[in-house]
Amino acid sequence: QLVETGGRATQAGESLRLSCTASSYIGDSFVTWVRQAPGEGLECVAVISPDGSRYYADFTMGRFTISRDTSKNTLSLQLTTLRVDDTGVYYCATGIGNYIDVWGKGTTVTVSS
Amino acid sequence: QSVLTQPPSVSGAPGQRVSISCAGSSSNIGAGHFVNWYQQLPGTAPKLIIYGDSHRPSGVPDRFSGSKSGTSAFLAITGLQSEDEADYYCQSSDTTLNGPYVFGTGTKVTVL
């Protein structure tokens, strides 16, 4: 139901755009990107609420931008000034209330120095 | 460093009961925010197994149960099975942080 694309190997300082296509309407849901560094836990990167409010994790420090297109049921994450510690699997997900009920399979971002 | 702390690992023999704790504070679990739990099998995306503290989505076996007390939440797995070997994460919200999703540190469940 959620398919991510855009992950690849890149160099520190570069930019990437991750995309996610949903099979159903996303405008009524929280939509989020959650990442997982190799061997580590889950951390929420950014969220858009149904009313369009955006939330970002502190570690993004203005480098990442989340956006959605409810007419196309797509979600994007623009990553800039990438760092080595941004390496990981990035999951697109949708939620209801404060829980996440649908997850994509993830797309892998590898940042080398 | 997450505001929700879980033990790194728990283990049990098949058929046994294991419990995973999720320790929070007055700004998250103690503030009344719902706690949710996810199972992540190796190499796969997380899967919701408990929402709203204690509710199971359709298709989740009833050997998984959730509870909450004070500033902590708990996931219990009764009748442990080999296919339950996975990583488990609690998740809630925190009034001091941006956004609705804060995850626990994660617990690896090993079936002996």
CA distance A34 to A94: 10
What does the radius of gyration of chain B's CA atoms come to, in whole angstroms? 13
pLDDT tens, position by position, B58-105: 999 999 999 999 999 999 999 999 999 999 999 999 998 877 899 999
Query: Which segments of chain B are extended strands (E)?
Result: 9-12, 18-23, 36-40, 47-50, 64-69, 72-77, 86-92, 102-103, 107-111
pLDDT bucket at B17, cuts 50 / 70 / 90: very high
Q: Is residue B7 pLDDT above 90, yes or no?
A: yes
Nearest-5° Cα angle at A106, B28 to A3 = 110
Which residues of chain A does B89 touch, with a Cβ-Cβ cutoff of 8 Å? 41-42
Q: How many CB pairs under 8 A join A and B?
A: 76
CA of B84 to nearest chain A CA: how many angstroms apart? 18
CA of B28 to nearest chain A CA: how many angstroms apart? 12
| Beta strand pairing call for A107-112 and A9-11 | parallel
Instruction: State whether A42 and B93 contact (CB < 8 Å).
Output: no
Q: What is the pLDDT of residue A59?
A: 92
Instruction: State whether B99 and A99 contact (CB < 8 Å).
Output: no
Which residues lie below 8 Å from residue B71, measured CB to CB, with a gap of 6+? Answer: B23, B24, B25, B26, B28, B29, B30
Mean pLDDT of A4-8: 98
Q: What are phi and psi of B29, to 5 degrees?
A: -60, -45
Determine the residue type at B69.
S
Q: What is the pLDDT of residue A1?
A: 93
Q: What is the pLDDT of residue B38?
A: 98
CA distance A32 to A54: 10
User: H or E segment at A67?
Assistant: strand A64-69
The residue to which tokens 């120095």 are assigned: A113
pLDDT tens, position by position, A47-82: 999 999 999 999 998 999 999 999 999 999 999 999
Determine the residue type at B49.
I
Distance of CA A39 to the CA centre of its chain: 19
Give chain B's mean pLDDT: 96
Q: What is the pLDDT of residue A10?
A: 98
Taking the Cβ of residue B47 and every Cβ of chain A, the question of whether any pair is shorter than 8 Å is answered with yes
CB B87 within 8 A of CB B6: no
Q: What is the pLDDT of residue A83?
A: 98
Instruction: State whether A41 and B106 contact (CB < 8 Å).
Output: yes
Taking the Cβ of residue A64 and every Cβ of chain B, the question of whether any pair is shorter than 8 Å is answered with no
pLDDT tens, position by position, A14-35: 999 999 999 999 999 999 999 9
Instruction: State whether A57 and B99 contact (CB < 8 Å).
Output: yes
**Residue in A47, A91, A103 closest to B99 by CB:** A47
Instruction: State whether B48 and A34 contact (CB < 8 Å).
Output: no
- The three-state secondary structure class of B83 is helix
Q: Is residue A38 pLDDT above 90, yes or no?
A: yes
Q: Is residue A97 pLDDT above 90, yes or no?
A: no
